[in-house]
């Protein structure tokens, strides 16, 4: 065969096929690092919540190590954290993940990136996957992050999870319109 297989939408009726029990629990008991809850709502261009979206995250462990053969860093894996999470939004568009703050991982030139999670958003009415990143608003290293630096200053706040309470972050995803989340071409 020749050529990539194209994307198609998830459609509205996916949860019986794709929802993993406890898919939002990324850090299992015993995982190293600062335990956090991340919660948010996915909204459309009219500000309405999406009851039929799927949010996936991918992250490094507390030591800044990914569970993947391409991560050749001499850092320890964490048996209690694989790094993948997947949840469907509820009828109010809400999602949440229970995880730990990831460690800093290297960027292209070896300089460290700020702690972040890779995020993929899928939904009825979305013909591809939207890709973004979640950073932490109270993280000083954001100022030196090479990927955040590529984002227009006035839109960077859409990538910063807000600290709502100790170890509790809020990350809303706006697909379109006011406060539209920055999405990446990867």
Partner 1 sequence: MKYARPPAGTHPPNDSPGYKSTTLRHPKEPLVVIPHTLSELTGPVYPYGRIEADDNDLTRQHPGDPLGERIIVQGRVLDEDGRPIPRTLVEIWQANAAGRYAHRVDDHPAPLDPNFSGAGRTLTDDEGRYRFVTIRPGAYPWRNHPNAWRPAHIHFSLFGTSFLSRLITQMYFPGDPLMPIDPVLNSIPDERARQRLVSKFDIDATEPEWALGFTFDIMLRGSDATPMET
Contact 117/147 with Cβ under 8 angstroms? no
Nearer to partner 1, 63 or 168 (CB): 63
**Residue 184 touching partner 1 (CB under 8 A):** yes
Min dist. Cβ of residue 176 to partner 1 (A): 6
**Residue 45 touching partner 1 (CB under 8 A):** yes
Q: How far is CA 172 from the centre of its chain?
A: 11
The one among 61, 96, 99, 113 contacting partner 1 by CB under 8 A? 113
**Residue 44 touching partner 1 (CB under 8 A):** yes
Determine the 3-state secondary structure of 107 from DSSP.
Answer: coil
Nearer to partner 1, 106 or 164 (CB): 106
**Residue 151 touching partner 1 (CB under 8 A):** yes
Q: Could you tell me which of 76, 95, 75, 77 has the C-alpha nearest to residue 85? A: 95
Residue 79-98 contact track with partner 1, rule CB under 8 A, x = bound: ---xxx-x------------
Return the range that interacts with partner 1 (CB under 8 A); candidates 30-38, 92-100, 129-137, 164-172. 129-137
Distance CA 176, CA 180 (A): 5
The one among 155, 157, 164, 167 contacting partner 1 by CB under 8 A? 155
Distance CA 88, CA 96 (A): 9
Place of tokens 């948010």: 40
**Residue 101 touching partner 1 (CB under 8 A):** no
**Residue 110 touching partner 1 (CB under 8 A):** no
**How many Cα atoms occupy the beta-carbon half-sphere of 53 within 13 Å?**
29
The one among 34, 76, 79, 127 contacting partner 1 by CB under 8 A? 127
Place of tokens 């030591």: 63
Name the token pair of 28. Answer: 């299992």
**Residue 183 touching partner 1 (CB under 8 A):** yes
Q: Could you tell me which of 106, 118, 113 has the C-alpha nearest to residue 171? A: 118
How many residues bind partner 1, per CB under 8 A?
Answer: 74
């Amino acid at each position: 065969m020749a050529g990539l297989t194209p994307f198609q939408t998830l459609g509205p009726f996916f949860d019986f096929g794709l929802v993993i029990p406890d898919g939002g629990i990324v850090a299992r008991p015993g995982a190293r690092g600062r335990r956090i809850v991340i919660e948010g709502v996915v909204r459309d261009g009219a500000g309405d919540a999406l009851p039929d979206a799927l949010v996936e995250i991918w992250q490094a462990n507390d030591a800044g190590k990914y569970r993947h053969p391409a991560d050749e860093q001499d850092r320890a894996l964490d048996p209690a954290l694989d790094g993948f999470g997947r949840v469907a939004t509820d009828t109010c568009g809400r999602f949440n993940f229970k995880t730990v703050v990831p460690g800093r991982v290297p960027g292209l030139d070896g300089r460290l990136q700020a702690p972040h999670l890779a995020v993929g958003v899928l939904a009825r009415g979305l013909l591809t996957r939207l890709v973004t990143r979640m950073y932490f608003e109270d993280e000083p290293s954001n100022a030196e992050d090479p990927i955040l630096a590529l984002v227009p200053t006035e839109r960077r706040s859409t990538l910063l999870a807000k600290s709502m309470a100790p170890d509790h972050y809020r990350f809303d995803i706006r697909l379109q319109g006011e406060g539209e989340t920055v999405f990446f071409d990867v």
